[in-house]
Structure 1
Amino acid sequence: MMRKTVGLILVCLFIVSSGRPQREEPTLPGLTSEQIMAIIDAASGERALNHIRRLTLLHRWFVSEGYHQAAQYIIEKAREIGLRDVTLHRFPADGKILYSTCRSLPRWTVRSARLSLVSPLKKRLASWEENPITLASNSRSANITAPLVDVGEGTQASDYDGKDVQGKLVLASSPQGKGRIDLVHRLAVLERGAEGVVSYRSYHLDDFPDLVTWDHINTLEFNGRPSTFGFCLSKRTGWELKRLLLKGEKVSLHAEVDSEISGGHFEVVSAVIPGTDLADQEIWFIAHLDHCQPSANDNASGSAAILETAQTLLELCQKNVLPKPRMTLRFLWVPEIWGTYAFIAKYPEETRKAIAVINLDMVGEHQKRCRSVFRVTRTPDSTASFLNDLLDVHLKFLLAHNPEPGKELSDAYAVVSPWGSHDDWNAELIPYSGGSDHFVFMGGVIRVPATMFGSWPDDFYHSSEDTPDKCDPTQLRRVVVLSTMTASSLMSLDSRSGLDLLDLVLMGAKGRLEESFGKSLGLLRKSPPSNRDLREALNIIDWAERREQAALESTAALLPLDDGLRQRFQGCQKEIRQQSVTLRQSLSEYLTLINGGERKGSVSPAERSPEEITASRLIPVRNPAFPGPIWDGYLASPAEGQDPAWRGTLSEFQLYEIGAFIDGRRSILDIRNAVSAECGPTSLAVILRYLKDLEQAGLVNFLSPGP
């Protein structure tokens, strides 16, 4: 079958009244129809599920024997399928060592643990041997019998008013979003002298009363007092204890923990499919291998899926169905976030070779059982990239061929596993969201475009019910196909497929510029709009143009710019400039329209304030000794354990992007304008204050005197 080219009308392919893509067939950069069908045929959701079943037998805490055994399993399988340079990287971890701004975790070893009710009756409540998830991670050894005191949620000081918890165990109903067992532990144990914490919480509590959610103690010492322990119970068990207390019963529990906190090592498994003439450019797949047993979807599924992606690519390259990759493909299995910080800190030059990172985290969900949606995240504006448009067209292609159950044999591109569901695929491309390993690659000195494949929500997230039966071989196969298609499009780019990719990015850029124009109009719909509104509206268009030019440049950086490609690249740049000029003119026309046909204002920027002039002359520069993004809480006051209150006026995403936009060229005013265009108007004074904190912490310096 002949290769079809990517056309600029692809967007029309997916517009239907039902909201579902039509059945016409786009062609994807670097892929023929035969290759797509071969990828679908080679990928196996069942093989991935078998890996998940094996990994869920292990309690894979970040630095532990269970994690080490999981890493050894991955090494064995990686070598078995033919991956090269399979290596176990070890990084010291003791809870004190820093990797960039990320503090390491200690090794935690548990030999046994049990929680029992001893009064008013005797009953075993939790056992490490039966369910390791019931013991809060980093719990220390203990052997005590103590009364139980109900402290409600236990996450704020007022929960302890009038209650004597010293020398006792506290019962806390600490729901997700309102607090973690670590906060209860700090308030009850470290500050008020309680012996330990018994916590019960879960998601969709009424639906799953016997579900236990796992938790961990982060604060290992406070004002000289060492941490103790915590147990996690189901809602049903927690309420039974609470009812006994409400009846006036004197409830006592016995807690016995045999554990050890010590120094150890983060372990990262790395393996490659070597490239040929472009071997120094790499495409990375990453998945975190850790979490409490069982943790099937989070994240044995991602770890299994990148292993299956590697096997699919190797098989098709060996059969010459896919060309040998020009770029190197690297696969990483890590302790989530911590291991990624450590790897980047140790191997910054290796990391700079990556042209794209695909993070697989929670990708195996049976969507109906877990009530989940598969989501692919875009990169933030600070790391504009070709990757967004490539993933967009791949995902839409697969959605176009996987909308209806029961028609798999009538569509060559339908992806269903023999023992999996035959359900519709609920999937979408969403704006940037962090929370997993991909965020480490884009917010620091080293900046590589990174996306996450993941599922959210998930009823069984971080719980005893995150088991292999919640995984779907069909979903796993679809994710492996998407991963393999993306790698295949990039790993052997040539002039022809590069031209297709340029056109694809241009098409996406035009659509996003129109979206930014709509955002600008929203600021002008006030009656009447202020001069500040006009400036912010213009700022959105200005930075949208810069974002899209950067996305085009990221594409051109991959390609051998012969005369034809260079001419096309310059033509794409010109089209973006022209569209931006048109949108600015449209803003002016809109302003005239809402003023009743009179030009009562202008959309040209007003003169800068003295503060803006100062900010425009100050250029922050990141300290290269801290290559990763700024770790949440790194700047927190040790006494308070939290950031200053004023910093709370900035969202986590705004803080991330402030750090990410620091490139040694942009001024503080540039950074303020970039963040405002992306996140909404942001105070220059607050950004100045935050950057001053970064300077005092040694994370940045200024080419001119500091603010």
Structure 2
Amino acid sequence: MFSTWQKHIHNELSGKQAYRYAERIAQFHRIQASTGYRKAAEEVVSLLKRDDVAAEIVSYPARNGDRFLAHRSFQEWHCDHAELWMEGENRKRLARFEEEEISLVQRSVPTPSNGITAELVVIENAEEPDSYEGVDLKGKLLLVRGNPFIIHDLAVEKHGATGLIFDNLNEYPPIRTRLDMPDAIQYTSFWWHGNEKKTFGFAVSPRVGNELRTRCRRETVTLSAKVEAQLYDGFYENIEFFIPGKKQEEILLVSHLCHPYPGGQDNASGPGTLMETMRSLNRLIHKGILQKPDLGIRFLMMPEMTGTYAYFTQYPERKKRTVAALNLDMVGADQTKSGGPLCIEPPPMALPTFVDRFAYQLFASITENTSNLTNTFNYSTVHFLRTRFSGGSDHYILSDPTVGIPCPMLIQWPDKNYHTTADSTDHLDHEMMKHVGVTTALYAYGLANGSERDWRIQMYSDAGTRFSDLQKSVSWLFSKETLQDEWEDAFSFYCDYERKALLTYKHYAKIRGFSKWEELVNDVSEQLEEQITAIKKWSASLSKLNLSNDQEPLNKKLPSDWKDQTLKRVFEGPVMLTFELERLSLNDRLEWYAYERQAKVPSGYVMFIQYWLDGKRTLEEVLNLVHKETGEYHPQFAVKYLELMRRLGMVE
């Protein structure tokens, strides 16, 4: 399928060129709404114009009080200088912004012009309110570890600390622990949206953090800090390029440009690969090697999430015109250095589609690079897999049912150097960037201009894979204790998803003007039903062997006044609750944080609730759907969360 196109794209697209683009991007400190990000965007456009790609910058206001769909905007930030010193006989500099930008907590506000000198106090378990009791913290600097939102409210807003020193290093076993990276500094940021009591902060490595903790146990430690920075009304910048098609519909390729220096894998690798994809497709089409596509192909690079929300706020008509999208986030790491596989992540099950399987099949065929000794079996030396939806990047906005654009994501996860000073372009692999670039180009051009014959082959090939996917779903259901007793009902949910996903071929075929696809899709749907019947028999036999669940039946009882409520979201796109909490009183915020910690609900649970809320389903129906998709069921937490969302005016 697409073999001729694949050859042309493979010959034109250069992994080394993608790497060179990424190198240039990684020279900039690319915090959202900042002068560094703007310079990076200008450099990207300059490089593309050099290579005959007429990309342009589109600016959006960065100021408090604005909202892009469900997303709250914030002000631009700039830092000129920041330093942190440990005072005493052996005075020692702990941080300087100009030599290591990540050493300053991003969006820190300025100190007085002559700086601040204060005692350092260590707060263990800094997300726990009890940790602050009985300690005089006014005017002190605090060494802390944990969530900056929670710690800011406790330490600064409630207890009067003057500044925060973080020695965070999130762990992702077995790829990364604090012991693995003692000298790495983790990216940490404040996010100001209104009238918070703003402050400054610094970030230090685990080694420096341990040294400070040890010193504080045996003596008084004094630090001096100076920050020269400012918050002001400014701008965000998106970069757009469009290859027009014969029809008004289009395919969208996205990759976020932001993140702190060096940000090699996250995310110079994504825009670098996307730049080479647009250069290659543009050149092949202009030279006549590839035909003008039937559908347009649009490229978008932006500040993560913020730019995507802003884009659809400015161009709401493009939502319906966009047939599918693809998100590139962290796609260039050398797998021998950074650890993680290349994951093809599908959209959530609330938005059935075939395009994630299309992306997976493309990557599998492109990376098939070796064989056994007798040449009877070909396979790939690249570690990759198709995962479940997890969110965390721009595809979670595009694939939200209120936006309605099916958007898989390509991402290497986990990554050892993620969000640290160690994330340099030295860890990138131009061969991986080429694999992803060729996949992205074929994904876009295949959807935009694939022949009817090619798409018939793709649909029948896709239908054949759904048997094994449904088998995996059954195994997953049996692995979830809370779903074992109702696996048949849950399995019906997965079968229904597969039916709806196949039916999306009809919509695509109609857009492309293909003929007789009603009959073709009906044919593969009948084949799917035969597969479902066979799997049901297999599953029934397996269940007799597999069900040894001694757990008490799950209590699915909802409060009577909530069970039949139907709620819908006020704004399009998913809501980031942490960006909304500033509108509550301090006590109410702390109460919510305490409840969240006590509930211990996975962080993505509320995202799935939002996706299934449509103003028609009852809350009982929504939570049952989330349960089947995630294996999680937390009715009391869901009620508390939705009460808060309604209070904030985000659902009605």
Q: TM-score range by the shorter chain?
A: 0.7 to 0.9
In structure 1, the residue matched to 2:552 is none
Give distance in 2, aligned partners of 1:76 and 1:592: 64
Question: Aligned-pair distance for 1:610?
Answer: 11
In structure 2, the residue matched to 1:434 is 391
**Do residues 286 (structure 1) and 254 (structure 2) align?**
yes
**Do residues 631 (structure 1) and 583 (structure 2) align?**
no
Which residue type is aligned with residue 653 of structure 1? G
Give distance in 2, aligned partners of 1:517 and 1:403: 32
Query: Residues 378-409 of structure 1: CA distance to partner in whole angstroms, max 9, x if unpaired?
Result: 222111211122122112223432689xx9xx
In structure 2, the residue matched to 1:680 is 631
Q: Is the 8 A contact 1:146 1:254 kept in 2?
A: yes
Q: 2:186 aligns with which of 213, 234, 245?
A: 213
In structure 1, the residue matched to 2:434 is 477
Tell me the secondary structure at the aligned position of residue 285 of structure 2.
helix
Query: Residues 593-652 of structure 1: CA distance to partner in whole angstroms, max 9, x if unpaired?
Result: 999xxxxxxxxxxxx999999967x654444xx111122336645433246837947544
Query: Residues 361-390 of structure 1: CA distance to partner in whole angstroms, max 9, x if unpaired?
Result: 111112222223221112221112111221
Which residue type is aligned with residue 310 of structure 1? M
In structure 2, the residue matched to 1:123 is 92
**Do residues 366 (structure 1) and 334 (structure 2) align?**
yes
Give distance in 2, aligned partners of 1:116 and 1:540: 58
**Do residues 192 (structure 1) and 163 (structure 2) align?**
no
**Do residues 243 (structure 1) and 214 (structure 2) align?**
yes
* 1:71–1:522 CA distance, 2 compared to 1 (3 A): closer
Which residue type is aligned with residue 482 of structure 1? T
In structure 2, the residue matched to 1:550 is 500
In structure 1, the residue matched to 2:136 is 164
Give distance in 1, aligned partners of 2:6 and 2:210: 53
In structure 2, the residue matched to 1:96 is 65
In structure 1, the residue matched to 2:443 is 486
Question: Aligned-pair distance for 1:450?
Answer: 1.0
Question: Aligned-pair distance for 1:190?
Answer: 2.5
**Do residues 654 (structure 1) and 643 (structure 2) align?**
no
Q: Is the 8 A contact 1:337 1:436 kept in 2?
A: yes
Q: Is the 8 A contact 1:543 1:677 kept in 2?
A: yes
* 1:585–1:669 CA distance, 2 compared to 1 (3 A): farther
1:683-702 to 2 correspondences below 5 Å: 694=645, 697-701=648-652
Question: Aligned-pair distance for 1:505?
Answer: 2.9
Give distance in 2, aligned partners of 1:590 and 1:242: 54
Q: Is the 8 A contact 1:495 1:565 kept in 2?
A: no
Question: Aligned-pair distance for 1:258?
Answer: 0.9
Give distance in 1, aligned partners of 2:417 and 2:259: 14
Which residue type is aligned with residue 364 of structure 2? K
Give distance in 1, aligned partners of 2:370 and 2:98: 42
Q: Is the 8 A contact 1:541 1:583 kept in 2?
A: no
* 1:117–1:108 CA distance, 2 compared to 1 (3 A): same
Give distance in 1, aligned partners of 2:557 and 2:214: 63
1:10-29 to 2 correspondences below 5 Å: 28=1
Which residue type is aligned with residue 333 of structure 1? M
Tell me the secondary structure at the aligned position of residue 538 of structure 1.
helix
* 1:150–1:428 CA distance, 2 compared to 1 (3 A): same
* 1:58–1:578 CA distance, 2 compared to 1 (3 A): same
Which residue type is aligned with residue 138 of structure 1? R
Q: Is the 8 A contact 1:101 1:634 kept in 2?
A: no
Q: 2:292 aligns with which of 324, 332, 336?
A: 324
Question: Aligned-pair distance for 1:91?
Answer: 2.0
Which residue type is aligned with residue 155 of structure 1? E
Give distance in 2, aligned partners of 1:492 and 1:681: 41
Give distance in 1, aligned partners of 2:558 and 2:268: 54
Give distance in 2, aligned partners of 1:568 and 1:514: 24
Question: Aligned-pair distance for 1:69?
Answer: 0.8
Give distance in 1, aligned partners of 2:338 and 2:255: 20
In structure 1, the residue matched to 2:528 is 576
Tell me the secondary structure at the aligned position of residue 370 of structure 1.
coil
> How many pairs are equivalent?
625
Q: Is the 8 A contact 2:327 2:409 kept in 1?
A: yes
Give distance in 2, aligned partners of 1:684 and 1:205: 35
Query: Residues 479-501 of structure 1: CA distance to partner in whole angstroms, max 9, x if unpaired?
Result: 11221222232111332122122
Tell me the secondary structure at the aligned position of residue 226 of structure 1.
coil
Tell me the secondary structure at the aligned position of residue 314 of structure 1.
helix
1:443-482 to 2 correspondences below 5 Å: 443-482=400-439
* 1:652–1:346 CA distance, 2 compared to 1 (3 A): farther
Give distance in 2, aligned partners of 1:323 and 1:139: 50
* 1:513–1:487 CA distance, 2 compared to 1 (3 A): same
Tell me the secondary structure at the aligned position of residue 60 of structure 1.
coil
In structure 2, the residue matched to 1:66 is 36
Tell me the secondary structure at the aligned position of residue 74 of structure 1.
helix
Q: Is the 8 A contact 2:120 2:221 kept in 1?
A: yes
Tell me the secondary structure at the aligned position of residue 215 of structure 2.
helix
Q: Is the 8 A contact 2:342 2:385 kept in 1?
A: yes
In structure 2, the residue matched to 1:263 is 233
Which residue type is aligned with residue 105 of structure 2? A
In structure 2, the residue matched to 1:274 is 244
Tell me the secondary structure at the aligned position of residue 461 of structure 1.
coil
Which residue type is aligned with residue 398 of structure 1? I
Q: Indicate the structure (1 or 2) with the bigger Cα radius of gyration.
A: 1
Q: 1:353 aligns with which of 321, 343, 352?
A: 321
In structure 1, the residue matched to 2:202 is 231
Which residue type is aligned with residue 205 of structure 1? R
Query: Residues 635-674 of structure 1: CA distance to partner in whole angstroms, max 9, x if unpaired?
Result: 6454332468379475443322222223455454543442
* 1:686–1:108 CA distance, 2 compared to 1 (3 A): closer
Q: CA RMSD in A?
A: 3.4
Which residue type is aligned with residue 178 of structure 2? L
Q: Is the 8 A contact 2:253 2:444 kept in 1?
A: no
Give distance in 1, aligned partners of 2:646 and 2:91: 58
Give distance in 2, aligned partners of 1:58 and 1:468: 12
* 1:687–1:474 CA distance, 2 compared to 1 (3 A): same
Give distance in 1, aligned partners of 2:371 and 2:520: 36
Q: Note the residue ranges of structure 2 that are not aligned, 5 or more in a row.
A: 170-175, 548-555
Tell me the secondary structure at the aligned position of residue 136 of structure 1.
coil
Which residue type is aligned with residue 113 of structure 1? A
Q: Is the 8 A contact 1:344 1:628 kept in 2?
A: no
Percent identity over paired residues: 25
Q: Is the 8 A contact 1:120 1:252 kept in 2?
A: no
**TM-score (norm: length of structure 1):** 0.80
Give distance in 1, aligned partners of 2:408 and 2:418: 21
Q: 2:368 aligns with which of 400, 410, 422?
A: 400
Q: Is the 8 A contact 1:501 1:555 kept in 2?
A: no
Q: Is the 8 A contact 2:73 2:306 kept in 1?
A: yes
* 1:588–1:394 CA distance, 2 compared to 1 (3 A): closer
Q: Is the 8 A contact 2:156 2:197 kept in 1?
A: no
Tell me the secondary structure at the aligned position of residue 426 of structure 2.
helix
* 1:207–1:508 CA distance, 2 compared to 1 (3 A): same
Query: Residues 260-294 of structure 1: CA distance to partner in whole angstroms, max 9, x if unpaired?
Result: 11122222111111112x3x221111111111111
Question: Aligned-pair distance for 1:680?
Answer: 2.7
In structure 2, the residue matched to 1:418 is none
Q: Which moved more, 1:255-264 or 1:34-43?
A: 34-43
Which residue type is aligned with residue 453 of structure 2? R
Query: Residues 531-564 of structure 1: CA distance to partner in whole angstroms, max 9, x if unpaired?
Result: x966x33322322222112211222211146553
Give distance in 2, aligned partners of 1:197 and 1:227: 11
In structure 2, the residue matched to 1:5 is none
Which residue type is aligned with residue 119 of structure 2? P
